[in-house]
Chains A and B, each alone.
Chain A
């Protein structure tokens, strides 16, 4: 599971460090380990949307805990990516209520359009497809999560095309 070192020096920017300090200060004295999950989100967001061993070791030092305490938590929760992912991670819900409203059709359409299978990243490094369990959007199915946002009612090819095009143009604008 913990296959990859990032090869990069992991250290928070001053802004991220301020955020980290604010998070750590929320808990009673001696209970700073409570900051572990939020800090793993923060380091994942700051360093390429996945958790390298270097990132996890950095958080262990920040919280004065053993690296193994970070690894066991990071590998337990589904939101931490233990391998590099594309620019946009598309997480498609495939649990019951989404399935009966077309989750499998959404997945196969995305696979056909991006020429990748679930678990893979497109050749341009733009998209990674992942199946996830219930995201609490059952009434707005089929749907997927991409970063901050839920994209719901993805029940036609047209809507899926529009989403992919929007994401592609977002990537161009930011570059």
Chain B
């Protein structure tokens, strides 16, 4: 078994409740941190090498150190629990099964950032999780870990669970802040960054659930200890939500640096490909990151074993590599149609584009229509080049990264599976019958 930092207590019976969580060492990091200077807590997180677990991988400690503390304005910490990246369902797991870990992390992190009002922005569909978190907050408050004068130290903190309402774009941090202010989730132009002008125009840090949930361990065990786990450039462990055509879909905590092959095929993790099929492709970090064919996800272009780490997954750039992203790991077997999957993702991004920037608003719809046409046997060879052209003109030309996120799956599908697109164009009748058998398959055969 590899090292567990986030999920080491997940199997303790009743760990969802405050009493059991506390009896198993919970909230000890609050007791320790509140005796430290806030900036010393930030230093520990810096030393840990922790990188943001939402997808971008930006160093958390550095993000914290950018927060404008000098101007004396109110500061806010906002936890991004708007988990919506296709393939990603890890934060949900943490919040549902060990909610106090996030609450503990929020208290310690808020203290480090000198925030007295902090928010957890949860996607609205997670209605039962919102209840779980509100109950956990009430329990922590009764025990004196939230509210006025926490543990007699003079530090005050209120924690609010904010409900989203169904919009992928609100996972982008400035769209999230707009939404939290009661507006449409339209991303803001950066700079200014939230660290200077964030929620209500005040200095704000936005962090992913998993990033915040790691902070208690770092405070208790030190940043140096955390940095010893994983690889030099990818410190620590990461939650990976594995799905698709595998035997054991679910959420796994891995030590960064684990070989991809071991993750997919060992019994400890995904347990191999379902139904005795062969693997065709993998999307390693949520729908936004480039899809890779089997040979490139298992080995880099240089022939080295591909590892589950930021640097190994991105080895080779977008020509032959991908990204760790959010840890949403989607495995495709030999029966899956890359054109259909790319169309499906293009439809997703078209649906979720906020409409602010024309390259994204128009381009995502254009890509969806072209892909739909190819997928349904009406495509022309020139459509493949047109598709390439459209995605290239979206990438880098939008306010927020949704444009890039929409372009990359299309670009990588064409880059690595161009012959499959061409086959759809040349053999429209055959491809109509082949869309992984959808048209013939009855509901019973998938059981």
Contact = CB atoms under 8 A, between A and B. Distances in A.
A108 B443 contact: yes
Interface in A26-56: 26-28, 31, 33-38, 40-41
A40 B165 contact: yes
Contact of A133 (B127, B168, B336): B168
Nearest to B202: A28
Contact of A28 (B117, B128, B442): B117
Contacts of B74: 28
Contacts of A96: 86-87, 287, 330, 341, 344-345, 348
A95 B86 contact: yes
A167 interface: no
A73 interface: yes
A134 B168 contact: yes
Given A76-B167, A134-B168, A138-B243, A34 B441 contact: no
A136 B88 contact: yes
Interface string B312-324: 0000000000000
Nearest to A37: B165
Contacts of B332: 100
A26 B165 contact: no
Nearest to B168: A133
B249 A36 contact: no
Interface string A75-95: 011111000000000000011
Interface in B81-122: 83-89, 91-92, 117
B172 to A, nearest CB: 14
Given A41-B163, A148-B127, A157-B444, A76 B92 contact: no
With most chain B CB atoms within 10 A of its CB, the pick from A38, A100, A156 is A100
Which of B166, B287, B336, B341 gathers most chain A CB within 10 Å?
B166
Contacts of A157: 443-444
B348 A145 contact: no
A133 B351 contact: yes
A149 interface: yes
Interface stretch (B4-12, B176-184, B425-433): B176-184
Contacts of A38: 162-163
A102 interface: yes
| Residue with the highest number of chain B CB atoms closer than 10 Å, among A26, A28, A76, A79 | A76
Given A34-B180, A96-B86, A134-B348, A79 B165 contact: yes
B200 interface: yes
B352 interface: yes
Interface residues of B, number: 63
Nearest to A77: B165
Nearest to A45: B127
A97 B330 contact: yes
B171 to A, nearest CB: 11
Contacts of A94: 344
A36 B162 CA distance: 10
A34 B181 contact: yes
The interface size bin for chain A is: 35 or more
B381 to A, nearest CB: 25
A139 B242 contact: yes
B164 interface: yes
A100 B244 contact: yes
Contacts of A108: 443
Given A34-B180, A78-B165, A155-B446, A137 B200 contact: no
A76 B244 CA distance: 30
Nearest to A140: B249
B351 A135 contact: no
A144 to B, nearest CB: 11
B20 interface: no
A149 B89 contact: no
Contacts of B436: 100
A108 B345 CA distance: 20
A126 to B, nearest CB: 21
Contacts of B83: 136
A129 interface: no
B125 interface: yes
Interface in B347-367: 348, 351-352, 354
Contact of B328 (A26, A72, A135, A138): A138
B162 A37 contact: yes
Contacts of B124: 37, 41, 77, 79
Q: Which of B89, B128, B158 has the most chain A CB atoms inside 10 A of its CB?
A: B89
A76 B117 contact: no
Sorted nearest first, the 6 A-B pairs with minimum C-beta distance are A78-B166, A139-B249, A77-B165, A36-B182, A33-B182, A79-B166
Interface of B: 74, 83-89, 91-92, 117, 123-128, 158, 160, 162-168, 179-185, 200, 241-245, 249-251, 287, 328, 330, 332, 336, 340-341, 344-345, 348, 351-352, 354, 436, 438, 441-444, 446-447
Given A99-B340, A100-B245, 9 more contacts: A31-B181, A33-B181, A73-B182, A78-B165, A99-B341, A134-B287, A138-B86, A139-B250, A148-B128
14 contacts: A37-B179, A41-B165, A99-B340, A100-B332, A104-B438, A105-B441, A105-B446, A106-B443, A133-B86, A133-B352, A134-B86, A134-B287, A141-B243, A145-B125
